[in-house]
């Protein structure tokens, strides 16, 4: 059994074959798929996918940092309404993304901090999107002195020092297709950290693993990531599947 802890199966890239993609994932041994939120425009389709696959799909709720803009208060109000009205396994994906645009850097950091507080109120983990933003994200996290802080750095692509700081703050590392890239870098040091702090993910339809790099990613490719992780840690794919699935079940309280 494998758990894809981060898949955007609800986006329009899957509009033509969403059911088939989910069927392929299940056939590949991916028994659970966790869907991160983006913004208010995608909430309805996320709930629809959950209704269609209640035993296999789990939802997060949050505002993606690249969707922080002039309508920030409206979007955050939507997140809070959803958290109050429905059951979710995490607040996410939230965080900061300064890769292409720093216009709303301050607002991104503010939205991140506010949603962390909502996660505390709901007793949920957080799922962090961090792109070119480790410094301001750690500034927020390390400024919080609260034992309830927990979650995952999704699609982790930082340095070994970043990884240690994340683990010190009670976070898991979400590992996806990047670990299979020749220039991915994280494969040089991941095995220096406990496999009990690793989660598997695809971030589909993005970041497909080698040999599908550049093509649409999907949850059925998760075994490729698991095989690479098993190679790095010197254990069998079955063992890495068991360990990472146990990690995911504990963090997200999956039933």
Q: Is the confidence at residue 250, as pLDDT, over 80?
A: yes
Residue 100 CB neighbour total at 10 angstroms: 9
Phi, psi for residue 145 in degrees, rounded to 5: -105, 80
Q: Per the structure block, which two tokens stand in for 192?
A: 């220096």
- Rg of the chain taking only CA atoms, in angstroms: 17
What CA–CA distance (Å, rounded) separates 192 from 50? 36
Q: Identify the top-confidence range among 90-94, 98-102, 251-255.
A: 90-94
- Residue in this structure with the two tokens 């692509």, named with its chain if needed: 157
Q: Does domain 2-252 have CATH number 3.30.420.40?
A: no
Q: Is the confidence at residue 67, as pLDDT, over 90?
A: yes
The per-residue pLDDT for range 4-35, each reduced to its tens digit, is 999 999 999 999 999 999 999 999 999 999 99
The band of 145, judged by pLDDT with boundaries at 50, 70 and 90, is: confident
Q: Quote the pLDDT of residue 184.
A: 85
Q: Is the confidence at residue 115, as pLDDT, over 80?
A: yes
The mean pLDDT of 144-165, rounded to a whole number, is 95
Q: How far is CA 162 from CA 8, 65, 114, 132, in A?
A: 25, 20, 23, 12
Q: How far is CA 39 from CA 13, 21, 89, in A?
A: 16, 23, 17
Q: Quote the pLDDT of residue 46.
A: 98
Q: Percentage of residues in the chain with pLDDT exceeding 90?
A: 98
What dihedral angle (degrees, nearest 10) is formed by the CA atoms of 29, 201, 198, 47? -90
The CA-CA-CA angle for residues 123, 130, 90, to 5°, reads 20
Sequence-distant (≥ 6) Cβ neighbours of residue 163 within 8 angstroms = 156, 173, 186, 189, 190, 193
What dihedral angle (degrees, nearest 10) is formed by the CA atoms of 232, 127, 238, 216? -80
The per-residue pLDDT for range 202-243, each reduced to its tens digit, is 999 999 999 999 999 999 999 999 999 999 999 999 999 999
The per-residue pLDDT for range 155-186, each reduced to its tens digit, is 999 999 999 999 999 999 999 999 999 988 99
Which of 43, 44, 18 lies closest to 33 in space, CA to CA?
Answer: 18
Q: Is the confidence at residue 255, as pLDDT, over 90?
A: no
The per-residue pLDDT for range 28-54, each reduced to its tens digit, is 999 999 999 999 999 999 999 999 999
The band of 143, judged by pLDDT with boundaries at 50, 70 and 90, is: very high
Q: Per the structure block, which two tokens stand in for 47?
A: 């709930």
Q: Quote the pLDDT of residue 237.
A: 98
């Amino acid at each position: 059994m494998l758990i894809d802890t981060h898949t955007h199966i609800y986006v329009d890239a899957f509009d033509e074959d969403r059911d088939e993609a989910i069927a392929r994932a299940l056939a590949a041994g991916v028994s659970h798929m966790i869907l991160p939120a983006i913004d208010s425009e995608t909430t309805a389709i996320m709930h629809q996918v959950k209704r269609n696959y209640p035993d296999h799909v789990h939802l997060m709720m949050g505002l993606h940092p690249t969707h922080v803009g002039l309508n920030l208060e409206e979007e955050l109000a939507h997140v809070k309404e959803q958290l109050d009205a429905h059951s979710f396994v995490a607040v996410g994906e939230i965080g900061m993304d300064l890769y292409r645009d720093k216009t709303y850097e301050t607002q991104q950091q503010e939205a991140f901090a506010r949603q962390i507080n909502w996660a505390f109120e709901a007793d949920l983990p957080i799922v962090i999107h961090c792109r070119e933003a480790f410094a301001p994200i750690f500034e927020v996290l390390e400024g919080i002195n609260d034992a309830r802080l927990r979650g995952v750095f999704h699609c982790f692509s930082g340095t070994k020092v970043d990884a240690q700081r994340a683990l010190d703050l009670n976070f898991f590392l979400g590992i996806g297709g990047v670990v299979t890239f020749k220039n991915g870098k994280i494969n040089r040091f991941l095995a220096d950290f406990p496999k009990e702090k690793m989660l598997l993910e695809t971030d589909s339809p993005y970041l497909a693993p080698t040999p599908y790099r550049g093509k649409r990613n999907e949850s059925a490719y998760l075994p490729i990531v698991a095989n690479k992780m098993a190679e790095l840690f010197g254990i069998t794919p079955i063992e890495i599947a068991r360990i990472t699935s146990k990690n995911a079940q504990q963090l997200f309280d999956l039933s």
